[in-house]
Chain A
Amino acid sequence: MAGYNTSDFRKGIKVEMDGDPYLMIECNFVKPGKGQALYKCRFRHLIRNTVIDRTFKSGDSLEAADVHEIQAQYLYRQGDMFVFMDNESYEQYELGLDQVDEAWKYLKESMVCSMLLYNNNPIGVTPPNHVVLRVEYCEPAVRGNTATNVTKPAKMETGAEIIVPNFVETGEMIRIDTRTGEYIERVKE
């Protein structure tokens, strides 16, 4: 397995420590006057999302985590299991709700997501930045209220609740930013 020396340390590298995969989210170089160069690093656990701090001295190394990303198509949901298929190998992967996390709100059949694999097991899935979903139900628009900042909750076809402007109607398609969960615009079919 490839590794990283301290001189390769930077934000964004994925490493394995104590048998777990971590993402380096901070790396600060410190050096006392005539002393040993140190790297104060912060890591996020790629599965549990917990954050830990570790310090290394110049010359130390870390193992690279066998983490890679694939494009996977969402097929269907069965109870709390979400089934995806690797677009290249056609291999199927099942993810639990805890692994899918917030992404469940945006998953529509045949949507292509990026999936993170650790030692070839799925550990997370990210939907496209923008998705278009149908509004399954929302209260009718309040007539006469033309203020643009009036909002209301709307239930999407996926079951997720999104805050939308007052003028959005049941049955319309809307574009959503999956990174923030925010409404962007109405989409004409």
Chain B
Amino acid sequence: MFRLPREDFRPTADWTALRERAGLLRRLRLFFDQRGFLEVETPLLSADTVVDRHLDPFSIEVPTPGGTRTYWLQTSPELAMKRLLAGGAEAIYQVTRAFRQEELGPLHNPEFTLVEWYRAGDDMAAGMAFLDQLCQAMLGRGAAERLSYRGAFERYAGLDPLTAPLEALHSAARRTSAPPASFRPDDRDLWLDWILTEQVQPHLGRTRPAILYDYPASQAALARVRDESPPVAERFELFVEGIELANGYHELLDPELLRRRNAANNAARAADGKHPLPADSRLLDAMESGLPQTTGVALGFDRLVMLRTGAERIDQVVAFPFDRA
């Protein structure tokens, strides 16, 4: 039967972007190789997954004798790479695909490319310095400005994010555009995220890249919390042109704390009407056996290509985005 070819068989990225992508990948590998990092590969499909309130992995039911078992497409290679560190790795990186449900927009594709690396012995300062070097080598936009989360909020939103009462967050949040009506008034992190994305982030990385560090302890994810008053998470993010490009942690090493955070994340997921994610994982066993001090960073490779090529949408740098996959 004759059928007109569908136009959407074509790639959405042009050849300039795809060549830039390939070139950047080569330079990235060279950058890591020259600094003694070993390229590794870990499973995309795993029985373990990161337990995060706002990350939804795709699941696959794998037939087993006597039933099925749920496997997850990785949302990042974090768990497996830390298991490699516990197994003796010193400096490792990988370029891999990660998958996140529902994330589809100008800066998001549900399947995307992550560059992730770990170096044993690095604290947060060393981790930020390495990320800064990599950013300079790949984008050539100069050394990154360092800004604490607290300092950035004080500068751009006029409030202290760690100590401001909820009411102050509410009124600051409404200063620009209206937040969703469904934000729970006492859900502090939702309001902080709103102010960050609406009022702070647009200023970040405009004249040169910016690294934001020392996040609120409630947003530690897998970072360790530094015991200060108030405590802060040793987590950092890189922004270029207002785009969030990389996220790093001075990694949490204590398995007991991770168990507690997993339980808290699952409780928050339940309150959001989401299914729980498996709280147990081989990462916990790796942590029990001993994980070296390390800093780990994940960088969105597609966004790096976007910044190199001046693309405004991720589908300009991906041959076949989700709706053509």
Chain A residues at the B interface, C-beta cutoff of 8 Å: 6-7, 28-38, 53-60
A21–B178 Cα distance when bound, in Å, is 20
Which of chain B's residues have a CB closer than 8 A to the CB of A57? 180, 182-183, 190
Q: Are A60 and B108 in contact (CB under 8 A)?
A: no
A2–B56 Cα distance when bound, in Å, is 25
* B171: Cβ under 8 A from any A Cβ: no
Chain B residues at the A interface, C-beta cutoff of 8 Å: 52, 54-55, 102-108, 177-180, 182-183, 189-190, 193, 196-197, 201, 219, 221, 237, 244, 247, 272-273
Q: Are B102 and A34 in contact (CB under 8 A)?
A: no
Chain A residue, CB-CB nearest to B189: A35
A7–B101 Cα distance when bound, in Å, is 10
Main secondary structure of the interface of B (DSSP, over half): loop
A53–B177 Cα distance when bound, in Å, is 9
List 19 additional A-B contacts (Cβ < 8 Å) besides A34-B55, A55-B179, A60-B182: A29-B105, A30-B107, A31-B54, A31-B108, A32-B197, A32-B201, A33-B247, A34-B219, A35-B189, A35-B193, A35-B197, A35-B219, A36-B190, A36-B193, A37-B102, A38-B197, A57-B183, A57-B190, A60-B180
- Closest CB of chain B to A14's CB: distance in Å? 20
- Closest CB of chain B to A136's CB: distance in Å? 43
- Closest CB of chain A to B125's CB: distance in Å? 20
Q: Are B54 and A37 in contact (CB under 8 A)?
A: yes
A33–B104 Cα distance when bound, in Å, is 14
Contact among A29, A32, A38 for B104, CB-based, below 8 A: A29
Q: Are A30 and B177 in contact (CB under 8 A)?
A: no
Query: Can you give 17 contacting A-B residue pairs, CB < 8 Å?
Result: A6-B102, A28-B105, A29-B102, A32-B193, A32-B196, A33-B237, A33-B244, A34-B247, A35-B189, A35-B196, A35-B219, A36-B54, A37-B54, A37-B102, A54-B178, A54-B180, A56-B182
- Closest CB of chain B to A36's CB: distance in Å? 6
Q: Are B189 and A58 in contact (CB under 8 A)?
A: no
Which of chain A's residues have a CB closer than 8 A to the CB of B179? 55
Given A32-B197, A33-B247, A34-B221, A55 contacting B177 (CB threshold 8 A): yes
- Closest CB of chain A to B44's CB: distance in Å? 21
Query: Which one of B180, B189, B190 has the greatest number of beta carbons of chain A within 10 Å?
Result: B180
A33–B219 Cα distance when bound, in Å, is 10
Chain B residue, CB-CB nearest to A53: B177
Which of chain A's residues have a CB closer than 8 A to the CB of B106? 28-29
Q: Are A30 and B197 in contact (CB under 8 A)?
A: yes
Query: Which one of B104, B179, B193 has the greatest number of beta carbons of chain A within 10 Å?
Result: B193
Which of chain A's residues have a CB closer than 8 A to the CB of B183? 57
A57–B183 Cα distance when bound, in Å, is 8
A146–B143 Cα distance when bound, in Å, is 66
Which of chain B's residues have a CB closer than 8 A to the CB of A31? 54, 103, 105, 108
Which of chain B's residues have a CB closer than 8 A to the CB of A54? 178, 180
- Closest CB of chain B to A37's CB: distance in Å? 6
A55–B105 Cα distance when bound, in Å, is 14
- Closest CB of chain B to A13's CB: distance in Å? 16
Which of chain A's residues have a CB closer than 8 A to the CB of B201? 32
A57–B201 Cα distance when bound, in Å, is 19
Given A29-B105, A30-B105, A59 contacting B196 (CB threshold 8 A): no
- Closest CB of chain A to B99's CB: distance in Å? 14
Chain A residue, CB-CB nearest to B187: A36
Q: Are B196 and A56 in contact (CB under 8 A)?
A: no
Which of chain B's residues have a CB closer than 8 A to the CB of A35? 54, 189-190, 193, 196-197, 219
Which of chain A's residues have a CB closer than 8 A to the CB of B190? 35-36, 57
Chain A residue, CB-CB nearest to B274: A59
Which of chain A's residues have a CB closer than 8 A to the CB of B272? 59
Which of chain B's residues have a CB closer than 8 A to the CB of A53? 177
Which of chain A's residues have a CB closer than 8 A to the CB of B244? 32-33
Which of chain A's residues have a CB closer than 8 A to the CB of B197? 30, 32, 35, 38
